[in-house]
Amino acid sequence: QVQLVESGGGLVQPGGSLRLSCVASGTIFSINVMAWYRQAPGKEREWVGSITSSDTTNYANSVKGRSTISRDNAKNTVYLQVNSLKPEDTAVYYCTLTQLGRKYWGQGTQVTVSS
């Protein structure tokens, strides 16, 4: 079993930056993919980006160029840095870990971009 706990959310002004963290615990294998998703009010959950255990990253077009996903395998932690935040970035952000064909979800952290 795997548990994921996100942190770092909050209220940010437009144009600001935020760094989210997600710590994984439990039985974690060396080969896995960690990812971030988000769900805005009244919208479907969308994929934000992902990082493999070999540090290959991919990003959604909506955040590409202003976001960075990184990970610290020693700490079983994945990070999402988002710059130039926009009101449309407001959402609950979730991290996931996928290993051996199974995806685990965290509880999410709220990010609100507003002046």
- Please write the tens of the pLDDT for every residue from 16-58: 999 999 999 999 998 999 999 999 999 999 999 999 999 999 9
High-pLDDT (> 70) share of the chain, %: 100
pLDDT of residue 11: 97
Q: What share of the chain is helix, strand, coil (3-state, %, to 5)?
A: 5, 55, 40
Q: Distance from first CA to last CA of the chain, Å, rounded? A: 40
Query: Do 106 and 86 meet the contact criterion of CB atoms below 8 Å apart?
Result: no
pLDDT of residue 74: 93
Cα distance between residue 49 and residue 80, in whole Å = 9
Report the pLDDT averaged over residues 62-69: 97
Residue 73: band (very low, low, confident or very high) from pLDDT cuts 50, 70, 90:
very high
Q: Which of 100, 48, 103 is nearest to 79 (CA)?
A: 48
